[in-house]
Amino acid sequence: MSRLVMKFGGTSVATVERIHNVARHVKREVEAGHQVAVVVSAMSGKTNELVAWCKEAAPLHDMREYDAVVASGEQVTAGLLAIALQKIGISARSWQGWQIPVLTDDAHGAARIQDIEAKGILGGFTRGEVAVVAGFQGIHAPTGRITTLGRGGSDTSAVALAAAIGADRCDIYTDVDGVYTTDPRVVPKARRMEKVAFEEMLEMASLGAKVLQVRSVEVALVHDVPTYVRSSFDDPENPRSGTLICKEEDILEAQVVTGIAFSRDEAQITLRRVADKPGVAAAVFMPLAEAGINVDMIVQTVSEDNMTDMTFTVGAADYDRARALLEQGKNGVGFASISGARDVAKVSAIGVGMRSHAGVAAQGFRALADKGINIRAITTSEIKFSVLIDAAYTELAVRTLHTLYGLDAG
């Protein structure tokens, strides 16, 4: 008998009516002979409401108590789904993170899973019982405090649970029917992919695709958990297969470029006339790292008179904080001036086929130039390249690259 983890996001469980629909999806898999664990998010909008209450209670609040509050959203959903399953004749019980337990570190609000002791869930399987697990949460054993995993943490909970119980696969149900070559709202000809390699999905998730949380893909990759992205709004009696995220060798005919991702959540910072000497880069980037500010693209001009210009990107939400930190350290770094821009976007092309094909990025640069799109910065890896451009050209750039690499449907 195979084991299966099913995860349902906030829009899938937004109302009691939708929870009954989820129960029908679960019933289908139980009747197919699977041992099933279900991981659920809070009902749509509930987590935002709980977070707002914490801020209203005290703008600077104890993050341990914050976790106790916001974890309650998933607990409500888990109980309601267990009730809905019981109503249609399926044996089920709800599990909170601390009951399993899902063991985490003590980084409240952004904890990381360290281990899952799933004996109770496995014992329930022998009794024909569906485990309905509250996602997004765990426990820090030394203190006995509830922890939460950060936004999107229910995806990570589901994949980690699948690894812990030796599940044959993990199905992530959401409001889309799979992973597309790019956002269909930007490119109507975008098409759903049948399979995507773990590495490709990891790049896509980190570069702007919103289908899966990055950490969940990392866990799936490390533990080799085949993961489907499926729609909870399909007919439970006749669902579509969605998109399978799997090992590269399981994809028979990999395309050179699999998808185009983009992010408008970018900001650019430029330091002018920085001394070109050992230790300067560390002086620039270490304070940002210590403040938890992620730096992405970095471009440094050719040195003239032992002085250089340095350009890099940070998340738009971190722009003001990053700039303030740099200005505070101006004397130590020794730059002449600082400038920045928020009206930028990052557009990326991803594909494992780039490893064996030369000139893929160069073709993209030429196509963008032909459309009059100026590239501010470039980063590359074995399976992707990213360009920083003016935000006004984002959709044009995405459509241009999508067509260039033969990703348009039809």
The dihedral over CA atoms of 274, 277, 282, 287, expressed in degrees to the nearest 10, equals -40
Looking at the structure, tell me whether residues 228 and 340 fall in a common domain.
Answer: no
pLDDT in tens, 132-150: 999 999 999 999 999 999 8
Domain boundary, last residue among 249, 274, 307 = 249
Structural domain contains residue 191: yes
Query: Rounded mean pLDDT of the chain?
Result: 92
Confidence (pLDDT) at 1: 66
Predicted structure pTM score = 0.86
Question: Which pLDDT score, from 0 to 100, does residue 410 have?
Answer: 62
Per-residue pLDDT, averaged over 397-406, amounts to 96
pLDDT per residue over 151-161, tens digit each? 889 999 999 99
Question: Is residue 74 annotated as involved in ligand binding?
Answer: yes
Domain identity same for 242 and 329: no
- 138: closest CA among 166, 113, 165, 155? 113
pLDDT digits 0-9 by tens, 53-77: 999 999 889 999 999 999 999 999 9
Asked if the structure places residue 104 within a domain, the reply is yes
Q: Which of 266-270, 274-278, 357-361, 363-367 has the lowest mean pLDDT?
A: 274-278
Residue 312 in any domain: the answer is: yes
The annotation status of 210 as a binding-site residue, yes or no, is: yes
- Measure the N-to-C terminal CA separation of the chain; round to a whole number of Å: 40
Residues 237 and 299 placed together within one structural domain of the fold: no
| pLDDT higher than 80, residue 253 | no
Same domain, residue pair 196 and 280:
no
pLDDT band at 353 (very low <50, low <70, confident <90, very high): confident
Flag whether 313 is in a domain: yes
Task: Give pLDDT, residue 330.
Answer: 82
**Domain containing residue 164:** 3-249
Boundary-marking domain end, from 249, 282, 309: 249
Residues 391 and 298 in one domain: yes
Q: Answer whether residue 409 is part of any domain.
A: no
What pLDDT shows up at residue 255?
81
Residues 6+ apart with CB under 8 A from 35: 1, 2, 3, 4, 125
What torsion, rounded to 10 degrees, do the Cα atoms 295, 297, 301, 307 define? 0
Q: What is the CATH number of the domain that holds 353?
A: 3.30.2130.10
* Same domain, residue pair 230 and 272: no
Regarding whether 46 and 195 lie in a shared domain, the answer is yes
Q: Are residues 129 and 244 located together in one domain of the fold?
A: yes
Residue 410 lies in a domain: no
Q: How many domains does the chain have?
A: 2
211 known member of a binding site: yes
| Residue 87, marked binder | no
Boundary of a domain, candidates 195, 217, 249: 249
Question: Is residue 152 assigned to a domain?
Answer: yes
C-beta separation of 99 from 37 below 8 A? no
% of the chain residues with pLDDT over 90: 73
- pLDDT at res. 206: 83
User: Annotation-wise, does 10 bind a ligand?
Assistant: yes
Residues 90 and 36 reside in one and the same domain: yes
The annotation status of 185 as a binding-site residue, yes or no, is: yes
Q: What angle do CA 255, 260, 261 make, to 5 degrees?
A: 140
Q: Do 195 and 304 sit in the same domain of this protein?
A: no
Lowest mean pLDDT among 97-106, 229-238, 271-280, 388-397: 271-280
Q: Would the annotation count 174 as a binding residue?
A: yes
CB–CB of 216/151 below 8 Å? no
Residue 7 annotated as binding? yes
- Residue 254 maps to a domain: no
Query: Is the per-residue pLDDT at 325 higher than 70?
Result: yes
Each residue's pLDDT tens digit, 269-321? 999 988 888 888 888 889 899 888 989 888 887 777 778 888 999 999 899 99
Supply the pLDDT for residue 213: 85
Consult the annotation and say whether 189 binds a ligand.
no
As a whole-number percent, the residues of the chain with pLDDT over 70 amount to 98
- In a shared domain, residues 237 and 264: no
Q: What is the DSSP string of 334-364?
A: T-SEEEEEEEEEEEEEE-GGGGG-TTHHHHH
**Tens digits of per-residue pLDDT, 31-40?**
999 999 999 9
Same domain, 11 and 90: yes
- Other beta carbons within 10 Å of 393: 17
